[in-house]
């Protein structure tokens, strides 16, 4: 009785048999970095019993099948690095057990479904480009995903516009634990919300500059945007980010200063409009 099928690294080509979707016990399929498998994600091939589906970097060129949401046991979807087209289905929210959704480096269009916030089990979402010919997801950065316990939310290199949502730090659980939030290379503008200061538990690297900087720490990427500090009595609460050691805010339109931090070791404010004097005592 077939339950798991691994085809990774093989020089297969052609079409996956429709019989695959009829196996009652079949729950796990992986075929990464395999030669082109035409029409893999079709209605007849996808099994309703799938719990994990890994088809990254195999060159499939299809739309996400509507019946994928009927695989109620799916916990893991990784189809990164293909030529998947179309929009992200709204009914993916039916996948109540889904923990990982990786659709980065494809040719998706449309907006990020608000319904995604109803998947309470979701931990990792990757809709990023990561290449010169990646996703073209449009619209505002959705505020809804922040009320679930995401640990990784990657939406960089799309055509997202508008401000960074204040819900990022105001809506429980506030992306508090091991958070990796990446929104660089979009069309964002407006203020950096003060609510980012609430991300004080797990955030150690806050990056809003013009380069990619990957660390083992949790990070916020906002590359080459039109962002400004929020203006209020409290101003921007950098000092509340007690774990921050590296802060990059280059290539924005920042003019005001920041609060002093006791643990900050690296600060990059290049290519901004800041006129604040650099402290001589070394305190940031």
What's the pLDDT score for residue 233? 38
| pLDDT value for 63 | 79
Per-residue pLDDT of the chain (284 residues; tens, 9 = 90+): 666 777 666 666 666 666 666 666 556 666 666 554 554 555 555 666 778 888 787 777 777 876 777 788 889 999 888 888 888 888 888 899 999 999 998 888 888 888 888 888 888 889 887 544 467 777 777 776 666 677 777 887 777 777 777 777 666 655 544 466 677 777 777 666 767 666 655 555 555 543 333 333 334 444 445 555 444 333 334 444 455 555 666 665 555 555 555 555 666 666 666 656 655 555 55
- Burial tier of 120 (Cβ tally within 10 Å: 0-12, 13-18, 19+): exposed
What is the Cβ-side half-sphere exposure of residue 14, based on CA atoms within 13 angstroms? 6
User: Which domains, and CATH codes, for the chain?
Assistant: 1-138 (3.80.10.10), 141-284 (3.80.10)
Tokens 């509340």 -> residue: 240
How much is the pTM? 0.71
Residue 168 is inside which H or E element, if any? helix 167-170
pLDDT of residue 102: 93
């Amino acid at each position: 009785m077939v339950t798991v099928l691994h085809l990774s690294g093989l020089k297969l080509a052609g079409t996956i048999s429709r019989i695959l979707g009829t196996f009652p016990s079949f729950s796990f399929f992986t075929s990464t970095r395999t030669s082109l498998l035409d029409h893999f994600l079709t209605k007849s091939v996808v099994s309703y019993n799938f719990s994990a589906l890994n088809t990254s970097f195999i060159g499939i060129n299809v739309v996400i099948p509507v019946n994928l949401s009927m695989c109620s046991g799916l916990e893991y979807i990784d189809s990164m690095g293909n030529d998947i087209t179309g929009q992200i289905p709204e009914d993916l929210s039916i996948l109540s057990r889904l923990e990982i959704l990786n659709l980065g480096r494809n040719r998706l269009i449309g907006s990020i479904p608000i319904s995604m916030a109803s998947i309470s089990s979701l931990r990792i979402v990757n809709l990023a480009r990561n290449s010169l010919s990646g996703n073209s997801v449009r619209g505002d950065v959705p505020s809804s995903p922040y009320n679930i316990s995401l640990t990784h939310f990657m939406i960089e290199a799309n055509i997202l516009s508008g401000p960074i949502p204040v819900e990022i730090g105001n809506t429980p659980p506030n992306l508090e634990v091991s958070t990796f939030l990446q929104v660089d290379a979009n069309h964002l503008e407006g203020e950096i919300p003060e609510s980012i200061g609430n991300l004080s538990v797990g955030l150690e690297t806050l990056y809003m500059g013009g380069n990619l900087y990957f660390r083992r720490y949790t990070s916020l990427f906002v590359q080459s945007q039109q962002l400004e500090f929020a203006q209020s009595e409290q101003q921007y609460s950098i000092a509340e980010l007690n774990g921050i050691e590296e802060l990059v805010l280059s290539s924005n339109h920042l003019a005001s200063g920041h609060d002093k931090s006791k643990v900050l070791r690296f600060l990059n404010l290049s290519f901004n409009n800041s006129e604040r004097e650099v402290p001589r005592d070394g305190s940031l």
